[in-house]
Amino acid sequence: MKNTKELRTWLDDMNLAHPLVIAGPCSAETEEQVLKIAHELKDSDVNYFRAGIWKPRTRPGNFEGVGALGLNWLKKVKEETGMKTCTEVANAAHVKLALENDVDLLWIGARSTVSPFIMQEIADALKGTDKIVLVKNPVNPDLALWLGGIERLYTAGIKNLGAIHRGFSTYEKSKYRNIPEWQLAIEFQNRFPDLPLICDPSHITGDREMIQDVSQRALDLNFDGLMIETHFDPENAWSDAAQQVTPTKLKSIMEELKIKKTTDTDSSYRESLENLRAQINVVDDQLIDLLGKRMKTADKIGELKKDKNVAILQSRRWNEILGNMILEGKSRGLSEEFVLRMFKAIHQESINHQEKIINH
């Protein structure tokens, strides 16, 4: 995708005074449930009413959606409230049904994005449509896979494209349901700044109490909108109960969110910003220099281990370092999550250096 400016047209045409908002229940459960939520969201900042009607679940036996029946309910939402509608499509058959029933926006879920075969089938089924199509990031943190799925749609002639950041699965203990990996989302924006990017704080957090903070972080990072799961009775929702908010709470969240300007033309602001950025550049140069020195020391350790036939990984030593660095980081205002990720990366690079020496 060499020129992505045309992909932003659909969002610009909406001429919104606030970020794009997609909201509605995780799952369409009954016609009454869908319409009740829709009517409660009618006079709010919501631009698209969402409801999952095909629900791919990790394990069988859980509620997997009402299926095509839910498309009739989405039609009624549009008729009774005037809101545009959207739902997830996981294969070509879903696409065909959604298009036949005039769903306004389709999104492709993380489990589908992970498969190039499925993405190609969906792209072929969508060929020629002018509907808006959003692609969620794959389950694993693979930027190339995410971009590849979007490119398949673009190649099929779909121009009203966008992406949804819903976090990534991890085996590590985390306060998030799916870790946000904000740096990866930033990289996505750097590559395609004109491709609309929506944040899904519901799936990132898995916890309604955290949605406000993650939504604010997304807006601070210049995301274009939010997808927030909403239910009039979240505690008794048939799926993902813990991460859904009530329509009243959604309205409160939208009122409290602070929309940041992308920049400011005031000369004193610009001068102060450039000065602070210059200071960061100096520190960044020092960081690179220190990391280079650290790896030279790691090389010497590798030579010593090779000479004495000692294993590269010393778990006890590594755990001591990690524990100390977490404490040192906290004393300097650094989060444990950041310190862990940074030192794990440094440790892996040290191992790579030592392996080269021992194996050659």
Whole-angstrom distance between the N-terminal and C-terminal Cα of the chain? Answer: 42
**How would residue 285 be classed by pLDDT, with cut points 50, 70 and 90?**
confident
Q: What is the overall mean pLDDT for the chain?
A: 92
Helix (H) or strand (E) run with residue 86 in it: strand 84-89
Q: What does the pLDDT read at residue 288?
A: 93
Domain boundaries 5-256, CATH class: alpha beta
Binning the chain into helix, strand and coil, the percentages to the nearest 5 are 55, 10, 35
Q: Which residue has the higher pLDDT, 10 or 271?
A: 10
- Dist CA 31 CA 51 (whole Å): 11
- Per-residue confidence band for 2, with pLDDT thresholds at 50, 70 and 90: low
Q: What is the mean pLDDT of residues 178-190?
A: 90
Query: What is the per-residue pLDDT across 222-273, written as a single tens digit (0 to 9) for each?
Result: 899 999 999 999 999 999 999 999 999 999 999 999 887 667 778 888 888 8
Is the pLDDT at 188 greater than 70, yes or no?
yes
**Confidence band, pLDDT 50/70/90 cuts, at residue 190:** confident
- pLDDT value at position 262? 66
Which pLDDT does position 86 carry in this prediction? 98
pLDDT in tens, 96-152: 999 999 999 999 999 999 999 999 999 999 998 999 999 999 999 999 999 999 999
Mean predicted confidence (pLDDT) in 193-197: 93
When pLDDT is cut at 50, 70 and 90, the band that residue 47 belongs to is very high
Given a cut of 80, is residue 37 above it in pLDDT? yes
Q: What is the pLDDT of residue 280?
A: 87
What pLDDT shows up at residue 3? 63
Render the burial of 14-41: b for 16+ CB within 10 Å, e for the rest: eeeeebbbbbbbbbbbeeebbebbbebb
pLDDT in tens, 289-329: 899 999 999 999 999 999 989 888 888 888 888 899 999 99
Mean pLDDT of 23-41: 97
* Stated pTM of the model: 0.79
The reported pLDDT for the residue numbered 93 is 96
pLDDT band at 4, cuts 50/70/90?
low
Q: Can you tell me the distance from the alpha carbon of 187 to that of 193, in angstroms, rounded to the nearest whole number?
A: 10
| Res 183: pLDDT | 86
Enter the DSSP assignment of 68: T
Mean pLDDT, range 45-49, rounded to an integer: 96
Residue 353's H or E segment, with its range, is: helix 336-359
pLDDT confidence of residue 151: 95
Name the CATH topology of 267-359: Chorismate Mutase Domain, subunit A (1.20.59)
User: What is the structure's pLDDT at 271?
Assistant: 85
Q: What are the residue boundaries of the structural domains of the chain, listed by start?
A: 5-256, 267-359
**Mean pLDDT calculated for residue range 276-287:** 86
Pair 326, 340: CB distance under 8 Å? yes
What is the percent of the chain where pLDDT is above 70? 96
Does position 195 have pLDDT exceeding 70, yes or no? yes
